[in-house]
């Protein structure tokens, strides 16, 4: 059926393609749903291996050196992101501290380490079976690592604090800026790309080499359907048929809506100054930024905190209700919509990061202090639940229902 090259199954529609080498900077699109299948970066895997080590060093830099030095009436404070997380924990905001610590610190760090480890195994002569575990974890953790949005959160926190205190940029912030670029490049080496690299270096079974009929959702290997319950390459369970977790997607979305209400009605933070105490909701914070003259940041916070979660919920509802498209054009639009909501997920975390940073930055007892409000954790839950719902939704189902009549 095919001429020997590795096969790749489109994760968005399930169509099979023969994978051909690309020129540097090139992209391969699915002929069926038009989503991106794979791309060839400008740098080689070896160069990215070196850059992954650099990311680890920059990560440490960004966490060790203060991102800001703040002074209020002769009192000085140096703030690091790690310090802000500990501060939130010490003051009893356990939920917010654990959530922001996981998505902003631990998971991005683990992701760099797993990418490094996987590249190391691919390059070395060691047993390729050892690739299975790091790549499985990399695949699971990737959607939850949200470090990129941290830089924006730091900028918003700076602007919000400008009225309360004298804020000076610290060297840690430079580390965060460099880190964002490194992480963006490194994110191309997701589990699927690393499996393809291992194929190209003849380290693992080539996708499609044994036959076709089933696709492993974990490592993307195309293989014969019968003879094994588990993937011949990564030992993950092989689905007999694409399983759509409709009920789970609905349940996660309903839960997200329930958390969304207190997330917007309750205060996200309380500011205590010598003049008194004021409470701010998420929307109130948007208005306040606008009044302070930062209409651009105000717009970003509005889009990230209000528009993105609502759009995600509306778009997912639309996709679930229109599972049987009438034509290919309509289904392509559905695929693009799903692709978009999958990408924007982490930006909603912005405001949660902002309040954690603000609580640590404005911590001058008796002079000015910021307390984290109950909306922060509720809002964090909305982000977690909408990301989980997006992950449970299977964009291939619409394509399956389009293809079924053709077989009859």
Cα separation, 408 vs 405, in Å, equals: 5
Q: Judged by CB under 5 A, which stretch of 26-34, 100-108, 155-163, 172-180 contacts Zn ion?
A: 26-34
Q: Between residues 58 and 138, which has the closer beta carbon with respect to Zn ion?
A: 138
Query: 16 or 299, CB closer to Zn ion?
Result: 16
Sign of CA pseudo-dihedral 102, 81, 354, 180: negative
Span from 22-30, 134-142, 191-199, 271-279 in contact with Zn ion (CB under 5 A) = 22-30
- Binding residue (CB under 5 A) for Zn ion from 7, 9, 13, 397: 13
With H, G, I as helix, E, B as strand and everything else as coil, classify residue 36.
strand
Q: Which of 197, 231, 316, 349 binds Zn ion (CB under 5 A)?
A: 231
* Identity of the residue, 10 or 191, whose beta carbon is nearer to Zn ion in the bound complex: 10
218 is a contact residue toward Zn ion (CB under 5 A): yes
11-381-163 Cα angle (round to 5): 115
Q: Which is nearer to Zn ion, 141 or 178 (CB)?
A: 141
The least distance separating Zn ion from the CB of residue 354, rounded to whole angstroms, comes to 37
Tell me the per-residue interface mask from 328 to 367 with Zn ion, x by CB under 5 A, - otherwise: ----------------------------------------
Is residue 10 within 8 Å of residue 33, measured between CB atoms?
yes
Using N-to-C axis directions, what is the helix angle for 171-186 and 45-64, rounded to 10°?
A: 150
Cα four-point dihedral sign 46, 50, 53, 54: negative
**Interface with Zn ion includes 17 (CB under 5 A)?**
no
Residue 119 and residue 111 in contact, taking contact as beta carbons nearer than 8 Å = no
What is the CB neighbour count within 10 angstroms for residue 75?
A: 14
- Is residue 396 part of the contact set for Zn ion (CB under 5 A)? no
- Residue 19, interface with Zn ion (CB under 5 A)? no
* Dist. CA 106–CA 111, nearest whole Å: 8
Phi, psi of 186 (to 5 degrees): -65, -25
Q: If binding is defined by CB under 5 A, does position 9 make contact with Zn ion?
A: no
Question: Based on CB atoms, which residue is closest to Zn ion, 164 or 216?
Answer: 216
Q: Where are the alpha helices (DSSP H) in 72-147?
A: 81-90, 94-101, 107-123, 132-141
- Report, in Å, the least distance between residue 272 CB and Zn ion: 54
Task: Provide CB contacts within 8 A for 225, sequence distance 6+.
Answer: 213, 214, 238, 240
* Residues 6+ positions from 356 with CB-CB distance below 8 Å: 84, 85, 88, 93, 96, 97, 100, 372, 376
Q: Is 32 in the site for Zn ion (CB under 5 A)?
A: yes
Scanning residues 154 to 213, which ones bind Zn ion (CB under 5 A)?
none
Determine, following the binding rule CB under 5 A, whether residue 33 of this chain makes contact with Zn ion. yes
234 binding Zn ion? (CB under 5 A): yes
Binding residues for Zn ion, rule CB under 5 A, total: 15
The three-state secondary structure class of 305 is helix
Q: Taking CB under 5 A as the rule, does residue 131 contact Zn ion? A: no
Residue nearer to Zn ion on the CB measure, 296 or 404: 404
12 in contact with Zn ion (CB under 5 A): yes
In whole angstroms, the minimum distance from the beta carbon of 131 to Zn ion comes to: 11
User: Nearest approach, Cβ of 138 to Zn ion (angstroms)?
Assistant: 13
Q: Is 233 in the site for Zn ion (CB under 5 A)?
A: yes
Applying CB under 5 A, the residues found at the interface with Zn ion are: 10, 12-13, 15, 30, 32-33, 216, 218-219, 221, 231, 233-234, 236
């Amino acid at each position: 059926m095919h001429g020997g090259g590795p096969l790749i199954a489109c994760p968005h529609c399930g169509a099979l393609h023969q994978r051909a080498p690309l020129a540097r900077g090139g992209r391969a699109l699915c002929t069926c749903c038009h989503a991106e299948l794979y791309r060839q970066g400008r740098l080689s895997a070896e160069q990215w291996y070196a850059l992954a080590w650099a990311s680890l060093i920059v990560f440490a830099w960004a966490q060790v050196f203060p991102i800001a030095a703040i002074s209020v009436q002769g009192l000085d404070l140096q703030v690091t992101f790690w310090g802000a997380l500990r501060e939130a924990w010490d003051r009893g905001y356990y939920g917010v501290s654990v959530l922001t610590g996981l998505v902003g610190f631990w998971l991005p760090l683990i992701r760099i380490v797993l990418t490094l480890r996987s590249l190391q195994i691919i390059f070395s002569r060691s047993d390729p079976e050892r690739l299975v575990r790091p790549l499985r974890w990399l695949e699971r953790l990737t959607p939850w690592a949200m470090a990129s949005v941290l830089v924006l959160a730091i900028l918003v926190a700076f602007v919000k604090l400008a009225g309360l205190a004298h804020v000076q940029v610290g060297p840690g912030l430079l580390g965060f800026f460099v880190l964002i670029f490194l992480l963006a490049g490194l994110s191309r080496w997701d589990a699927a790309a690393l499996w393809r690299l291992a194929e190209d270096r003849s380290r693992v079974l080539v996708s499609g080499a044994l036959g076709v009929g089933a696709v492993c959702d974990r490592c993307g290997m195309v293989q014969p359907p019968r003879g094994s319950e588990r993937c011949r390459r990564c030992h993950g369970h092989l689905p007999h048929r694409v399983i759509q977790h409709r009920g789970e997607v609905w349940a996660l979305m309903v839960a997200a809506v329930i958390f969304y209400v207190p997330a917007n009605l309750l205060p996200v933070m309380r500011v205590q100054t010598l003049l008194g105490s004021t409470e701010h909701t998420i929307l109130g914070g948007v208005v306040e930024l606008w009044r302070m003259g930062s209409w651009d940041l105000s717009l970003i916070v509005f889009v990230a905190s209000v528009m993105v979660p609502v759009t995600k919920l509306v778009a997912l509802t639309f996709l679930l209700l229109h599972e049987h498209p009438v034509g290919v054009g309509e289904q392509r639009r559905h695929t693009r919509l799903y692709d978009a909501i999958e990408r924007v997920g982490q930006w909603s975390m912005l405001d949660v990061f902002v309040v954690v940073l603000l609580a640590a930055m404005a911590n001058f007892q008796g002079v000015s202090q910021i307390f984290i409000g109950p909306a922060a954790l509720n809002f964090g839950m909305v982000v977690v639940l909408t990301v989980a719902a997006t992950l449970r939704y299977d964009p291939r189902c619409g394509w399956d229902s389009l293809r079924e009549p053709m077989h009859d």
